[in-house]
Amino acid sequence: MERFRFVIITGMSGAGKTNFMQKLEDMGYYCVDNLPPVLIARFADLCWKSTSNTRHVAVVSDIRGGSFFDALPQALDELNKRGIPHEVVFLEASDEALVRRYMETRRQHPLAKTMRIQEGIEAERKILAGVRAQADVIIDTTAMKPADLQEYMGSRFGAVDKKRDMQITVFSFGFKYGIPIDADMVIDVRFLPNPFYVEEYRFRSDSTALVKLEGVDSSERARMFTNVPVYFPLKFAQDAAVDGDVSWDFFVGFRVEDVNNGYIGDIVDVDTTTINTLFIIENDGEETLLPAQEEFIRGVDPEKKLITVELPDGLLDLDHAAPDEDE
């Protein structure tokens, strides 16, 4: 069975007892704040004999208990008689530090209801002198930073829940519903395209495609995409190019080579306003018009963005198109 630990936290008001208890609670201790001393021995005995997860317990008992607090020395004696293992942690700080903390928080010292804060602190030190003498550990928090206290507690009381790791929760939400009130960090990704999965598609014309999106099964849902920029995956256009079902604009940027004369140029535009569609090809600043007719095209490689053609002699003046071998 895991070692039983029963920690009694006491000391000066404003010295950090509540913070100390909260850190123990984060470490896995079962904590009770402001427990009357007359109940400490009975509570400790209950936890000691329990087979549940109350093997590490911490209680806070201090001057806030009023006349009940006077029974703390007797409670410690009772624990010793019953043989219940325990340790008393006494927290204190300098008068200057305690006065400053009370003035910063605007809280009232338990003994300074009818006197100055300084006088209440002096009276409390006298009352706690006997308890301080019985303490197993005395911690001065005057100049102690939270990180220093955390390190000390880890070495003195140990991490009970050794498997406890940092928990990170990542979730999505709609801004129109408001930012989650428990969020520590909010990342706005509305600038990213919202993904929809394509079930089927077909090109209706050179510049129009009909696309069926997964989950969009009604005209009302489809209206969501009215006047909204839509980015169509290039992969689908490439697949369509192989099947011959693609917009002419797809070929802009393709390199054109003739099987006999080599490089002709790069397609910079497509003219579909005439009876015969024309590739507008540019090479070294000069434009050439090439009929986009199937009888001339020998191959299309979407991955290399290359169109291979075999043109009849005299169709184009290709002497200027072929790049210099020395270039």
pLDDT 10s digit of each residue in the chain, 327 long? 578 899 999 999 999 999 899 999 988 899 999 999 999 999 999 998 887 767 899 999 999 888 888 899 999 999 999 999 999 999 999 999 999 998 888 888 888 888 898 999 999 999 999 999 999 999 999 998 878 888 888 888 875 444 556 788 888 888 888 888 888 999 988 777 777 777 877 665 555 667 788 888 888 888 877 777 666 666 665 555 555 556 677 788 999 999 888 899 999 998 887 778 888 999 888 888 888 888 888 888 888 899 999 888 777 764 444 444 444
The answer to whether residues 66 and 113 touch, using CB atoms and an 8 Å cutoff, is: no
Phi, psi of 140 (to 5 degrees): -95, 115
Residue 170, in any domain of the structure: no
For residue 38, is it within any domain?
yes
Q: Check residue 232 and give its pLDDT.
A: 64
* Within a domain: 280: yes
Does 202 share its domain with 92?
no
Same domain, 32 and 144: yes
Domain presence at residue 168: no
Q: Which amino acid is at 81?
A: K
Q: Are residues 223 and 270 in the same domain?
A: no
Q: Are residues 222 and 148 in the same domain?
A: no
Alpha helix stretches (DSSP H) within the chain: 17-26, 40-49, 72-82, 95-105, 117-134, 146-157, 219-222, 234-243
| Residue 10 CB contacts under 8 Å (≥ 6 apart), including other chains | 17, 60, 61, 62, 72, 88, 89, 90, 91, 128, 131, 135
For helices 72-82 and 117-134, the axis angle rounded to 10 degrees is 20
Residue range of the domain that includes 219: 198-243
| pLDDT score for 159 | 55
> What is the C-alpha separation between 223 and 79, in angstroms, rounded?
75
Could you tell me if 124 and 214 lie in one domain?
no
Q: Are 66 and 127 within one domain?
A: yes
Same domain, 20 and 128: yes
What is the number of domains present in the chain? 3
Is residue 225 domain-shared with residue 115, that is, in the same domain?
A: no
Q: Is the pTM of this model over 0.75?
A: no
> Is residue 278 situated within a structural domain?
yes
Q: Which of 130, 108, 132 is nearest to 120 (CA)?
A: 108
Is the domain of 302 the same as that of 232?
Answer: no
Phi first, then psi, for residue 35 (nearest 5°) are -80, 125
CA distance 48 to 29: 14
For residue 274, give the CATH number of its domain: 2.30.30.240
Task: State whether 152 and 16 are in the same domain.
Answer: yes
